[in-house]
Structure 1
């Protein structure tokens, strides 16, 4: 059997480990922290439970496909509910928020009510988004770009002119061709933020994202996103993956013939251990992998390569347990400033600063899930985009973070209170924790302390994002949001599948056939080693 080590126990690492084990690899997964999940973490205090990272369940067919590869389904693994409204948008100086509904027809009517004729324009826009999305799934998202021959097919060649326009025209200009109202332009431009970018930096190819929220709708797994991590970890174990937590990899070992030999890691007590392997897959941050774990002369992506790249935004996260309910907020609420171009400039410009006021995001899962807060109380997760800059500091509990991070949190709470008309919000906070860019760097080895990874600019999309295989070390591969195809939970699942295709030298561009063949029989052995501390999170009943 091929002995394989996977570095990182986030969703990409777990999915990669599961797929490779299913394919016959003898897999050991090493996670530096005591719990699994990576960015999709969990924090609990005083009866409140917070997802510390991803909170949008989009591209449901990607999750469904992944589960079906293993002979199961999303319905069997998760308790999914559709949100209606999918999200609420509040605008600076405007007392009337807009609710994005759970179906396309309702959103077309909404756009028409804001700007006469915009409904018909949205209909055309969503047709384009759906066509582009289908093309992306069929020809680009599941490709390793090991060979470009598979892209020289009639359906791609016929659309070369349109594809060129979608790649070269920024999203904000593309949106402006459909609607005039600035609020509607912001709604259509906001998906750039999911991609760690800004509307003026993101290729309009990514208008396909609007197909996901404005037509497909937004889902939520009851119990929170930790249930998703638990389910994929369970699949990995069932496939025979050994999981070791509190195992911080300090080096990827290489033979004198520039081939992977294994890794060296430190356990919770600082003891150093060596593991041998034929293959190493790093699902950790690619910058960390290349510049810290690989010898300098064998780095495919050395520091000078990163100096020419654009990081996605950093973030200040604010987790709040609030007494009482907050009907002014939906499960997902977006707060858009009038001059949000200036906001993006402060985050991505040559001279960065923290926006004030900020276009920010608030998640209140207690609107849907009674298990995440004490009965009658509210759970708030506030995300404030800031520059990817570790000097802004880290967070803490009850105001113990850096001065800058806590001031950003205070301003965000005041902004939400004012814009959503919750004047006593600050007084009702009983639990508070903040996270800052320095925490992303320290806990997740994130490049520049960014919250997401490299931004999806033109030069950092598709095959220009980089390869998922080392060019200098045989047997070293990559997975996760910092490599192809990019940022987000669905993309991380796809990155795991692309990894398997790369190892198989499979140059097809679509998803693998479902289900995967049963894994080859192996000698009996333990599927876990001491160190795993996570426990399943029980799904909560649906709230009527």
Structure 2
């Protein structure tokens, strides 16, 4: 029978909004509750004194995935978001050596040969072999892997020999290149997972392949514009997005989630609850003792978590002569990474990422000025926790390091507005467990069926989306987690005899099914 079903989504991050959009389009009555006064979570917009920034993610890849998500509910991404492709993808700086990466393969090969003689053919092999790996892996990113028996399915059996799971990202790149700097240029993407390329499973060498194959894009207004677009579709289909409305507890009866208790004391009933809050925070705080027997406090604290980030958002007087994305590598990059991820100490010689979108996007700063975003990877709070004492010292050292770059000389004197986020802020203000901005680490023992599943096994009708579940962190995989969880949710309803009436046009055929 056709029925009305109500779904509550906890958290208006990219995974929660994608889930809400898909559910609303499929005919569910959707209500999103977001604790913060804004949407987007770590992919939200930060505004002050006339400047605007992405709070977190600034790299947008694989727009075709987003296009599919919107098309699946009868909408076009491009009706809502203006995407501009970047060339170069980014500039990488190794001392005096600078490499502008591009998805133009002939040009990229020539640049590699010019800067790192003898490595051009390695790039050609990299693109060819990583494509084969990605083609094998892609189906595994589109469906749940919740049981050991999921590994005997045909697509998994075919993919396993290509996963390079027992190698490392650095090990994989060492098979293509003999120059250490060039290896770093194709392994630094392990930081997107908050991991060291010397420890990150070799599976994730596909990250740099995806950038070079599909390109990087900037949405006008910032990556947060994608979250705004999803929220708009939710509301067009009758859903509600509530900000400044925190959820205190997930309610359940007889082993089945049936609503939420808001922080204001109000109880809201629902047929499904979708959780997009930070996984460890949600498992620790959103459930009564004993409600989840697996995810105990001991279990949560024993997990491996990603590194964190120290952030500066700077309103700068005048233009900044830098590409859209710039990565300044430490002189001793292996030591820098080891200090962050294994030793849990701050590096005296850090690597720093600078985002300079104002040259491309005039909407982010007053005329004649720039919105400059600075990120330094640092240990999470299990390593360094005294940020209230050291934050100004770290700020000064970051600015001092940046001013060694010719284009940024005298940067401090040009700052007109400024905000800072430390790992402690990520935890206390943004509810990110241990300030681990990239969520659970992607070690072998925390991947696929060993990662928290898309449905809480112990609680029916309770679903998980975001970087803390399968297939993992990073925007493309977070959006895939939404597709997986929504499909599971709808299959559950079909088994219970419930059929929904989609709100998009009957002529539209959802491409995600």
TM-score by shorter chain over 0.5? yes
Tell me by how many angstroms 1:189 deviates: 0.8
The one of 518, 527, 544 equivalent to 2:502 is: 518
1:310 and 2:313 aligned: no
Output the CA distance in 2 between the equivalents of 1:442 and 1:112.
Answer: 47
Q: Find 2:395's aligned residue among 406, 409, 412.
A: 409
Structure 2 distance, partners of 1:421, 1:61, is 35
Correspondence 1:261 to 2:262 = no
Task: Give runs of aligned pairs for residues 30-41 of structure 1, distance below 5 A.
Answer: 30-41=33-44
Q: How much has 1:284 moved relative to structure 2? A: 0.4
2:316–2:370 Cα contact (<8 Å) kept:
yes
Please tell me whether the aligned partners of residues 196 and 487 of structure 1 are also in contact (alpha carbons under 8 angstroms): no
Which deviates the most, 438-447 or 424-433?
438-447
C-alpha deviation, 1:235, in angstroms? 0.8
| Distance apart, 1:107 and its partner CA | 1.4
Distance 1:53 1:160 in 2: 33
- 1:422-501 residue pairs with structure 2 within 5 A? 422-501=408-487
Q: Where does residue 170 of structure 2 map in the other structure?
A: 172
Structure 2: how far apart are the matches of 1:20 and 1:201? 37
Q: Is the 8 A contact 1:81 1:222 kept in 2?
A: yes
Aligned residue number for residue 528 of structure 1: none
Partners of 1:497 and 1:212 lie apart in 2 by 20
Equivalent residue in structure 2 for 1:26, among 24, 29, 44: 29
Give the count of matched residue pairs.
493
CA separation in 1, counterparts of 2:157 and 2:305? 32
Task: For residue 448 of structure 1, report the CA deviation from its aligned partner.
Answer: 0.8
Kept in 2, the 8 Å contact 1:90–1:419? The answer is: no
- The corresponding residue for 1:47 is 50
Does structure 1 conserve the Cα–Cα contact (< 8 Å) formed by 2:9 and 2:275? yes
CA distance in 2, matches of 1:117, 1:333: 25
**What is the correspondence of 1:185-264 to structure 2 with a 5 Å cutoff?**
185-255=183-253, 257-264=254-261
- Alignment deviations for residues 205-240 of structure 1 (CA, whole Å, 9 cap, x no partner): 111112222232211111212321110100111122
Secondary structure of 1:260's counterpart equals: strand
The more displaced of 283-292 and 104-113 is 104-113
Report what 1:296 is aligned to.
289
> 1:340, CA displacement in angstroms?
1.7
Find the aligned partners of 2:386 and 2:9 in 1 and give their Cα distance: 30
Aligned-partner SS, 2:266: strand
Contact 1:406 1:434 in 2 (8 A): no
SS in 1 for 2:416: strand
Q: Against the structure 1 CA distance between its residues 477 and 55, is the aligned structure 2 distance closer, same or farther, given a 3 Å change threshold?
A: same
Kept in 1: contact 2:146–2:448 (CA 8 A): no
Q: 1:20: how far off?
A: 1.7
Aligned residue number for residue 366 of structure 2:
374
- SS at structure 2 position matched to 1:246: coil
Distance in 2 separating the partners of 1:281 and 1:131 = 34
Matched residue, 2:70: 67
TM-aligned CA deviation for residue 115 of structure 1: 2.4
Distance apart, 1:89 and its partner CA = 0.8
SS in 2 for 1:143: coil
Assess if the C-alpha contact under 8 Å between 2:249 and 2:260 holds in 1.
yes
| CA shift for structure 1 position 159 | 4.9
Alignment match, 1:537: none
Q: 1:173 Cα shift?
A: 1.2
Match of 1:283 in 2: 276
CA–CA distance in 2 between the matches of 1:100 and 1:517?
47
Partner of 2:510: none
In structure 2, C-alpha distance between the alignment counterparts of 1:154 and 1:490, rounded to whole Å: 24
Write the mapping of 1:339-378 to structure 2, written as runs, cut at 5 A: 339-349=332-342, 351-378=343-370
Q: Tell me: CA distance 1:54–1:288, structure 2 relative to 1, closer, same or farther (3 Å).
A: same
* 298-307 vs 106-115, greater mean Cα deviation: 298-307
Q: Distance in 2 between matches of 1:29 and 1:22?
A: 14
Change (3 A) 1:90 1:11: same
1:49 is displaced (CA, Å) by 1.1
1:340–1:474 Cα change, 3 Å: same
Structure 1 residue 141 and structure 2 residue 144: aligned? Answer: no
Q: Secondary structure at the match of 2:404?
A: helix
**Residue 385 (1) aligns with residue 377 (2):** yes
Measured on the aligned residues, the alpha-carbon RMSD in Å equals 2.1
Distance 2:155 2:251 in 1: 44
Displacement of 1:74 in angstroms is 2.8
1:157 aligns with 2:154: no
